Amino acid sequence: MNLKCFELTMEDGWALLEMARPEKLNVLDEGVLRELHQILGTLKEQKIKAVVLTGQGKAFAAGADVAAMAEMDSQAAQDFSRFGNKVFQEIEDHPAVFIAAVNGYALGGGCELALACDLRWASTRASFAQPEIGLGIIPGFGGTQRLPRIIGATRAKEWILTGRRYSAQEALAAGLISQVLEPEVLLQEATKLAQELAQKSGPILAIAKQAIASSGTGVKESQGETEARFFAQCFETEDGLEGLQAFVEKRAPLFKDR
Q: Which residues are annotated as catalytic? A: 112, 132
CB 88 within 8 A of CB 116: yes
Distant-in-sequence contacts of 223-229, Cβ < 8 A, 24+ apart: none
Residue 41 CA to chain centroid, in angstroms?
Answer: 15
User: Of 56, 61, 183, which is closest to residue 125 (Cα–Cα)?
Assistant: 183
CB within 8 A of 156, min separation 6: which ones?
144, 147, 148, 150
Q: Distance between CA 221 and CA 225 in Å, rounded?
A: 8
List the strands of the sheet with 179-181, edge to edge.
Answer: 6-10, 14-19, 50-55, 97-102, 119-123, 179-181
The counts of H helices and E strands in the chain are 11, 10
Taking the C-alpha atoms of residue 78 and residue 229, their distance in angstroms, rounded to an integer, is 36
